[in-house]
Amino acid sequence: MILDGRRVAQKVLDEVQAGVERLRAEVGVTPMLAVVLVGDFAPSKIYVANKKKAAEAVGVATRDYVYPAGLTQRELLTLLRTLNAEDDVHGILLQLPLVEGCDEDEAIATIAPEKDVDGLHPTNLGRLLAGAPTVVPCTAAGCLEILDHYGAKLEGAEAVVIGRSRLVGKPLAQLLLARHATVTTCHTRTRDLAAHARRADVLCVAAGRPHMITGDMVREGAWVIDVGINRLATGQLVGDVDFDAASKRAHAITPVPGGVGPMTIAMLLKNTLGAAQRQMLGGELRPPQSSPGRRRGQSPRPSP
């Protein structure tokens, strides 16, 4: 079975759109995502453009904060603190990687946890670890969404996650653990990766190594989630899994492209709606305080 990420992403986007319309009807508020882009990195510009387009399609408003590579760390933190205090900004998307000279960890930690739609703030990662997640990193959440949509049984399953990044591998392992899978996390220092992979009922691969998982490393009947996105010298986009060989053994597998990829933006917008709902309708998080003396919608810094 092919796990169609585009289809699942569309289902999530439809739900987000309905939620946006409900929020507007109930409290007259449109979720607003502040998009912060520093520097001139071409792929980041494309990612940001795609995210904005998807946001607009579901009715989430966006506001751009685009700065040249010369923005200092201090200026970036000032911008983020100002956005934290803006009542009408519900989510802050800080496009990574940042430019050289900017400290990503400090910047992420400066975003108010309730506006951290990427789920990377230490508070949000801590909540995930504590088993009480609020906002979950988008790609990891997208993998779970696919598995749930197609009815994968996770309880008691042997789940193997290859990759331990903060962005994907670690949060994904936590999500699987929370669903009562027995989770093994593999990484560059793992001895005999193939042996671990072969035991997996659910094999999630997020290493960024084209075709590192060969057919013989996939257990017969496994669910395979391929997070990797790699561009070969030929220009072809491939995953971390050898799809042709693995799909002969797997019960279910995500293709690349068209698998996990479309889920990331869908989950970002789901997180944005959730952030707006919690801030406007209450919940376990307190709404952000308004900043005295600042008009709604006023840009914190002149555009460069």
- Of 11 and 187, CB closest to ligand NAD: 187
Residue 79 to residue 134: CA distance in whole angstroms:
24
Choose, from 52, 115, 116, 118, the residue flagged as catalytic: 118
Active-site residue 118, yes or no? yes
Of 212, 54, 59, whose CA–CA distance to 138 is shortest? Answer: 54
- Burial of residue 151 (number of CB atoms within 10 Å: 0-12, 13-18, 19+): exposed
147: Cβ–Cβ under 8 A, 6 or more apart, which residues?
154, 202, 223, 225
Choose, from 95, 174, 277, 279, the residue flagged as catalytic: 95
Active-site residue 53, yes or no? no
Q: How far is the CB of 242 from ligand NAD (least distance, A)?
A: 14
Q: Give the number of other Cβ atoms within 10 Å of residue 191's Cβ.
A: 7
- Of 17 and 184, CB closest to ligand NAD: 184
- Of 112 and 203, CB closest to ligand NAD: 203
Task: For residue 297, give Cα distances in angstroms to 63, 84, 85, 200, 301.
Answer: 9, 13, 11, 50, 12
Site residues for ligand NAD per CB under 6 A: 139, 162-165, 167-169, 186-188, 190, 193, 206-209, 212, 227-230, 260-261, 264
253, containing H or E segment: strand 252-253
Q: How far is the CB of 170 from ligand NAD (least distance, A)?
A: 8
Q: How far is the CB of 192 from ligand NAD (least distance, A)?
A: 11
- Of 135 and 227, CB closest to ligand NAD: 227
Active-site residue 95, yes or no? yes
* DSSP code, position 200: -
Q: How far is the CB of 228 from ligand NAD (least distance, A)?
A: 4
Which residues are known to be catalytic?
51, 95, 118
